[in-house]
Amino acid sequence: MASMDVSEPPPTPRIDVRGLTIAYDGIPAVVNVDLQLQAGSICGLVGMNGAGKSTLFKALTGFVAPSRGQLRLDGLPVAEAQRRQLVAYVPQSDQVDWQFPIRVWDVVMMGRYGRMNLLRWPSRHDCQLVRQALERVDLVDLRDRQIGALSGGQRKRAFLARALAQQAGVLLLDEPFTGVDIRTERLIIELLLEQRNQGATVLIATHDLDAIPSFCDRVVLINRTVLAYGETAAVFTQDNLLRTFGAAPTASA
């Protein structure tokens, strides 16, 4: 009698992108992108400016719709995953209106909005999580300062605190090391490693190539489509970087 196969099915990818194509005014920005990330991993997204990194993030956050292909987050369509607050996003600095009159505390509290009632009245638990997040990024003493009055590194830490307060399973960070000091970069890496160890899935677009081997489990190299993807030691090679950038890249590429 034949034995039964009792092996368990593989877990559902936290981030599941299959055959993704996105075009602006008929011009493709990304073409046939495939990417699957499991829980408890950090993946570096590496490519030139205009290679499609920000477009991929916009698709994962629901700001652009695919022309073709599928996106799933924790097995759910993007809109439903967003509704359930499963995805936290740390944007590039140039995507934020720093003149908007809002306190650091209120920026971080925005990470809790999706879990509040219609009046968005924070509970004691919300306030506790916001304070803990501010303490973790060393900004609790600046909680009443206007966000635009912070330094570049402090602004990045404030938005990272917002992501921490949200307690999302998927974290998307778009160039978080741009314009920050060494202390802030090390703090961000430390926090990302903590989140990974707690089961989060992190996708981070970065030009800081020197730092990638120190904290990324996997790397995807992209130039409108995926050129190489896999474990960092196997993919993050000089030959693959030459394919991606067309020349030997520097740390600031």
Binned at pLDDT 50, 70 and 90, residue 12 comes out as confident
| DSSP H or E segment with residue 93 | none
Q: Could you report the per-residue pLDDT of 69-128, keeping only the tens digit for each?
A: 999 999 999 999 988 889 999 887 666 766 777 899 999 998 888 777 767 788 899 999
Candidate from 42-46, 117-121, 162-166, 215-219 with smallest mean pLDDT? 117-121
Q: Could you report the per-residue pLDDT of 200-234, keeping only the tens digit for each?
A: 999 999 888 888 998 999 999 999 999 999 999 99
pLDDT given for residue 252 in this prediction:
43
Element counts in the chain: helices (H) and strands (E): 9, 9
Q: Where are the domains of the chain?
A: 15-86+168-245, 104-167
pTM exceeds 0.85, yes or no: yes
pLDDT given for residue 129 in this prediction:
94
Kindly list the distances between the CA atom of residue 51 and the CA atoms of 91, 100, 135, 154, 202, in Å, as whole numbers in the listed order: 17, 30, 36, 28, 20
The percent of residues above 70 in pLDDT, for the chain, comes to 90
Q: Which CATH number is 15-86+168-245's, of 3.40.50.300, 1.20.1050.10, 2.40.50.660, 3.20.20.70?
A: 3.40.50.300
